[in-house]
Amino acid sequence: MFWLYLLLYLSPINCITTLDIYGAELFGKLKAENYLLGTPPARIPERLAHYLNEINVLHPQSALHRNSYHK
């Protein structure tokens, strides 16, 4: 059963669906922040770092590489 779950979890269809959902949510949040226009200058680096980090998480290889980097 574990192998079936793993296969489904790592399948390209699941990755695309997850990317679409999470990507739409992430960029919706960025849009809600008006693409950081009007953000106080002191907060811009923090918000940019947040969104850059979240975009890096979206990368389809990130889940696979995360495990190899933490061994």
Measured CA to CA, the distance from residue 69 to residue 44 in angstroms comes to 29
Contacts of 63 (CB under 8 A, 6+ apart): 10
- The residue that leads in pLDDT, 64 or 42, is 42
- Which amino acid belongs to residue 30? L
Q: What is the pLDDT of residues 2-50, one digit of tens each?
A: 555 555 555 555 556 677 788 889 999 999 999 999 999 999 999 999 9
- CB burial class (10 A; 0-12, 13-18, 19+) of residue 33? middle
Cα–Cα separations (whole angstroms), residue 64 to 4, 41, 57, 70: 17, 36, 11, 11
